């Protein structure tokens, strides 16, 4: 008989309402006992929508309840480390949304707490549960691309800074801009595909905060997490570029919340000596190859699993088995280290050696 885990969700914003709460509600391994949010009305609405038993009046109420075994942290980035460490100290297992922390040092402190209190700490690196990503990993591991020498990824949008002037564009709240918000997903899925033997030797990066700095005159195509707050803060990057040198392929990335190019580009390209793959982020992929003097394009087609549901289920299975899975904090440390290195390289104007 499957044990039912009592779960609390901390933070009832968009990611909680669209992914974590429905995934727990629909999973037979879990039962939602609490929701908590610093805006009580938002927590109450989430509790009613997802039939959660209790709306907590404080984080302490959740952490002091011995029946609660696991929590999902769906709060702004600045609070991730503090809430995770407090929950681990209270004996709870934790699934923390990405990024794990605002800095590599925060992530190390979170890992140390998980080790000290012998709890599972997973990070919301949801692309590790994406069907297309795992199929590409299988192809690379089988040598289908030959010598993989370069990876290029792009995560660029046309004037789509989220919530200009709000928490997303405040370094104190988020730790950074498009790199820590979108780039974490692209960097992590690449490092995951390349595997544990990968070593990142050097990182060179540059960040720019150009389009959002004039809040009053920023014209936008779209703005999730809006509307803009003209009396707010914009001190993060809206564009990033970086080059990673590894013991395998070089990795190049370009990302933008906003750019003066009216196109969106969300993809990852894997260049090998025998074949190449272009993955459309969140979708399927195409394989490019040659044989017998002919060029081939092979479009993938497969059933896509719900990666958030898979992520939540894997977390709950880890609690049952006591074993760490691919989203454990131990597996994601390099992602946090690379992001830190890109920011440091940009600030100093120098290449960073890991």
Rounded Cα gap, residues 48 and 67, in angstroms: 21
Q: What is the distance, to the nearest Å, from the Cα of residue 161 to the centroid of all Cα atoms in its chain?
A: 18
Return the SS3 of 244: strand
* Residue 40 Cα to chain centre, angstroms: 26
pLDDT of 1 over the 80 cut? no
Q: Long-range contacts for 230-233 (Cβ within 8 Å, ≥24 apart)?
A: 230/165, 231/165, 232/164, 232/165, 232/166, 232/169, 232/170, 233/165, 233/169, 233/170, 233/172
pLDDT value of residue 50: 97
Q: Where in the chain is the domain with CATH 3.30.360.10?
A: 128-305+337-353
Consecutive H or E run containing 214: none
Q: Count Cα atoms within 13 angstroms, Cβ side, for 255.
A: 29
Helices (H), the chain: 14-15, 21-25, 40-50, 59-63, 80-89, 104-117, 131-141, 171-174, 178, 184-194, 307-321, 333-348
pLDDT tier, 2 (very low <50, low <70, confident <90, very high otherwise): low
Residues of the chain with CATH 3.40.50.720: 5-126+307-328
Distance of alpha carbon 292 from alpha carbon 319, whole angstroms: 51
Mean pLDDT of 154-172: 96
Collapsing DSSP to helix, strand or coil, 20 comes out as helix
Per residue in 297-348, pLDDT tens? 999 999 999 999 999 999 999 999 999 999 999 999 999 999 999 999 999 9
Report percent pLDDT > 90 for the chain: 98
Backbone angles phi, psi at 148, to 5 degrees: -80, 110
Task: Indicate the burial class of 208 (C-beta count within 10 angstroms; 0-12, 13-18, 19 or more).
Answer: middle
Average pLDDT over residues 278-292: 96
Q: Which of 306, 308, 224 is nearest to 20 (CA)?
A: 308
pTM of the full structure: 0.96
Cα separation, 161 vs 75, whole angstroms: 19
The Cα-based distances of 291 to 30, 148, 190, 299 in angstroms read: 50, 18, 27, 16
CA dist 77 and 87 (Å) reads 16
- Tell me if residue 91 falls in helix, strand or coil: coil
Predicted pLDDT of residue 3: 79
Instruction: Output the CATH code of domain 5-126+307-328.
Output: 3.40.50.720
Separation between Cα atoms, residue 331 and residue 254, nearest integer Å: 24
Q: How far apart are CA 122 and CA 99, in angstroms?
A: 11
- Over the stretch 93-141, which tens digit does the pLDDT of each residue have? 999 999 999 999 999 999 999 999 999 999 999 999 999 999 999 999 9
Q: Which CATH class is domain 128-305+337-353?
A: alpha beta
């Amino acid at each position: 008989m499957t044990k039912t885990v009592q779960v609390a969700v901390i933070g009832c914003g968009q990611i909680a309402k669209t992914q974590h709460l429905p995934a727990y509600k629909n999973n037979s391994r879990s039962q939602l006992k609490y929701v908590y949010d610093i805006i009580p009305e938002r927590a109450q609405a989430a509790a009613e929508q997802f039939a959660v038993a209790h709306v907590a009046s404080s984080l302490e109420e959740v952490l002091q309840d011995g029946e609660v075994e696991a929590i999902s942290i769906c709060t702004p980035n600045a609070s991730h480390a503090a809430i995770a460490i407090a929950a681990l100290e209270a004996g709870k297992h934790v699934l923390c949304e990405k990024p794990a922390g605002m800095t590599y040092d925060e992530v190390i402190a979170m890992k140390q707490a998980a080790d000290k209190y012998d709890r599972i700490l997973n990070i919301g690196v949801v692309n590790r549960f994406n069907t297309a990503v795992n199929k590409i990993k299988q192809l690379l591991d089988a040598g289908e691309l030959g010598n993989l020498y370069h990876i290029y990824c792009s995560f660029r949008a046309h004037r789509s800074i989220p919530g200009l002037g709000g928490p997303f564009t405040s370094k104190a709240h988020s730790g950074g801009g498009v790199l820590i918000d979108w780039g974490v997903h692209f960097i992590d899925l690449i490092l995951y595909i390349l595997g544990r033997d990968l070593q990142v030797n050097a990182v060179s990066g540059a960040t720019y905060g150009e389009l959002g700095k004039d809040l009053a005159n920023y014209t936008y195509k779209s703005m999730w997490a809006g509307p803009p707050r003209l009396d707010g803060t914009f001190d993060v990057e809206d564009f990033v570029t970086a080059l990673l040198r590894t013991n395998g392929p070089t990795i190049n990335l370009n990302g933008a919340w906003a750019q003066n190019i009216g196109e969106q580009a969300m993809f990852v390209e894997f260049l090998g000596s025998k074949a190449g793959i272009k993955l459309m982020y969140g979708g399927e992929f195409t394989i490019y190859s040659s044989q017998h003097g002919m060029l081939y394009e092979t479009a993938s087609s497969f059933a896509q699993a719900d990666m958030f549901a898979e992520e939540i289920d894997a977390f709950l299975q880890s609690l049952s088995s006591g074993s760490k899975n691919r989203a454990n904090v131990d597996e994601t440390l390099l992602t946090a280290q690379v992001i830190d290195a890109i920011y440091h390289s940009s600030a100093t104007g120098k290449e960073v050696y890991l």
